[in-house]
Structure 1
Amino acid sequence: MKLLLTSGGVLNKSIHAALVDMLDKPIAECNALCIPTAMYGHPWVGPGVKAWEFITGTPGNPMVDLGWKSVGVLELTALPSISEDRWVPLVRETDVLLVSGGDALYLNYWMQQSGLADLLPSLKAVYVGMSAGSMVMAPRIGEDFVGWTPPTGGDETLGLVDFAMFPHLEHEMLPDNTMAAAEKWAAEIGGPAYAIDDDTAIKVVDGEVEVISEGHWKRLTL
């Protein structure tokens, strides 16, 4: 399983190079599916303009506009209403999944409900997450990041990696995302965690973890 877990997308040459290295062919020969679902559950985003900007690769959404051979949309909320033979083969054949930011618990819920969560470990595709699209891979996200509340409550997510992520560290538009806040969050969440800024990503290949950064990050442990 190959994961590229970013905070703000493929924003610099180092993250871009890591992505190219994870693919088995050039970007121009790769077919991608983008997943905007997490956006719908976030109060600052929701359906509408932001989701369209992500899907169309509008500047500021550096994932869909990297020069893929083709880009399709995989909307998780629609999948339970159609037969699996309409979408599972498509997902199995794609080269990369581009997963937007938004609300991590909303994304987790629909990954589970749609059946995508069960498929992920067996896929050949490189999974590229942005913000919530990365956080959903952790065992939990912590109370600080709970927005949309799942029917069962809690802050548990997929647990496909053994660490949690605090994204957008020291972001100019998010004054509360300080290192002190990240350290307090990590103390409450327990277990290994990383605080990363938008120039940092975490590469995971077959369980091996590597931090790719042109910015600032810190591994947070108890």
Structure 2
Amino acid sequence: MKLLLTSAGIKNPSIHGALLELLGKPIADCRALCIPTAGYGHPRVTPDMAWHFVAGKELDTPMCELGWRSIGLLELTALPSIDKARWESWVRQADVLLVNGGDPMYLCHWMRQSGLADLLPLLPEMVWVGLSAGSMVMTPRVGVDFVSTKPSITGDDIALGMVDFSIFPHLDYPSFPDNTMACAEKWAASLGCPSYAIDDQTALKVVDGCVEIVSEGHWRFFGR
């Protein structure tokens, strides 16, 4: 599996170029599935926001509006009630998964419950594009500050660990007063693993465990 872990979607030409490199073909030739699940676990997300993501109306966080050959909706909370062979075929036919933000631990729970977390390592050519929580879920820990619903649905802040670093998204975002570099430093010190603080113009491209910073903004790496 190839990862493009963003703070706010495909925000600039550099991140767009990284996406094309991972896909290996034009967006217009790719089948996408969008996953809105994380939003339902966040206390500030409303149903209209979920629809805006799915419908490609979130111009501040471009994901579904990029001109995909086809795009479908994969709601993880529904998968346990569907025959696995049926929904697994949908995933295997896709080129890319577009994963919305929200509560990373809610998303983590449903990735495990649905079986998607177990399937992903078996899909080496799949591209995972995460937006905020959709990126954080791939890390070892999200940090207690990013557990949106307390107590966490999983009881902790331990995520999937498909990469060996954590992510502090939306660095210095004007509407998030707690997303300063000083707050990121305290967050990083609490984790016990390497981490990155990234702003909305930055993404992390990960292929075979190798991390590439893709940025037209600012970011910072924190060692273990």
TM-score bracket, normalised by the shorter chain, equals over 0.9
- The residue type equivalent to 2:77 in the other structure is T
Structure-2 residue corresponding to 1:26: 26
Specify the SS of the correspondent of 1:87.
helix
Q: Contact 1:138–1:159 (CA<8 Å) still a contact in 2?
A: yes
Distance in 1 (CA, whole Å) between partners of 2:177 and 2:157 is: 23
- The answer to whether 1:50 aligns with 2:49 is yes
Compute the displacement of 1:112 (Å): 0.2
How do 1:116-135 and structure 2 match up within 5 A?
A: 116-123=116-123, 124-135=125-136
Q: Which residue of 1 aligns with 2:145?
A: 144
Query: Is the contact made by 1:53 and 1:61 (CA closer than 8 Å) also made in structure 2?
Result: no
Deviation at 1:152, TM superposition (A): 4.4
Shift of the alpha carbon at 1:24? 2.1
Distance 2:120 2:130 in 1: 13
CA distance in 1, matches of 2:43, 2:77: 17
Please give the root-mean-square deviation of Cα atoms over the aligned residues, in Å.
1.0
Per the alignment, residue 199 of structure 2 pairs with: 197
User: Residue in 2 aligned with 1:169?
Assistant: 171
Match of 1:81 in 2: 81
Deviation at 1:219, TM superposition (A): 0.2
Separation in 2, partners of 1:221, 1:26: 36
The one-letter code of the counterpart of 1:177 is N
Runs of 4+ residues over 3 Å off in structure 1: 149-152
Give the structure 1 partner of residue 2 of structure 2. Answer: 2
Residues 115/19 of structure 1: CA separation in 2 closer, same or farther (3 Å cut): same
Shift of 1:209: 0.5
Amino acid at match of 2:92: R
SS at match of 2:190: helix
Unaligned runs of 5+ in 1: none
Cα offset, 1:121, TM superposition: 1.2
User: What letter is aligned with 2:139?
Assistant: A
Contact 2:137 2:159 in 1 (8 A): yes
Q: How far apart are the structure 1 equivalents of 2:189 and 2:82? A: 42
Task: Indicate the SS of the match to 1:5.
Answer: strand
Task: State the secondary structure of the residue aligned to 1:141.
Answer: coil
Give the deviation of 1:190 after TM superposition. 1.5
5+ residue gaps, structure 2: none
Which AA in structure 1 matches 2:162? L
Q: Equivalents in 1 of 2:18, 2:51: separation in Å?
A: 27
Matched length: 221
TM-score of the superposed pair, with normalisation by structure 2: 0.96
User: Aligned partners of 1:62 and 1:114: how far apart in 2?
Assistant: 26
List aligned pairs for 1:52-131, cutoff 5 A.
52-58=51-57, 59-123=59-123, 124-131=125-132
User: Aligned AA for 2:90?
Assistant: L
Could you state the TM-score of these two structures normalised by the residue count of structure 1? 0.97
